[in-house]
Amino acid sequence: MVSSEVAVQNSVGLHARPATFFIQRANEFKSSIWVEKDERRVNAKSLLGVLSLGIVKGTKISIIADGSDEEEAVKTLVELIESNFSE
């Protein structure tokens, strides 16, 4: 199991389009992946789950993965968030 903490810095947080893009990337991996905020953990491959966390600009979240490609999954998703979803 691998995890990493990252702060969401894009202007709208992890909502609508950025959340959809995040979930599409998460679904490229075989590992189980979760997003954790304030001790609430949701499936990173579920749009409703991710949106339910209410992640806004400046929120720190943890990305956790468990499986055969866990390191690559966490690294890719952290880089995606740090790039502000290439905006």
Active-site residue identified among 15, 36, 46, 75? 15
pLDDT at 26 over 70: yes
Closest CA to 48 of 4, 14, 83, 9: 14
Active site residue 15: yes
Q: Which domain holds residue 27?
A: 2-86
Worst-scoring range by mean pLDDT, 2-11, 48-57, 78-87? 78-87
- Split at pLDDT 50, 70, 90, the class of 58 is very high
Which CATH number does the domain housing residue 20 bear?
3.30.1340.10
Average pLDDT over residues 45-70: 97
Q: Is 16 left (phi over 0), alpha (psi -120 to 50) or beta?
A: left
pTM of this prediction? 0.94
Report how many domains make up the chain: 1
Asked if residue 86 has pLDDT above 80, the reply is: no
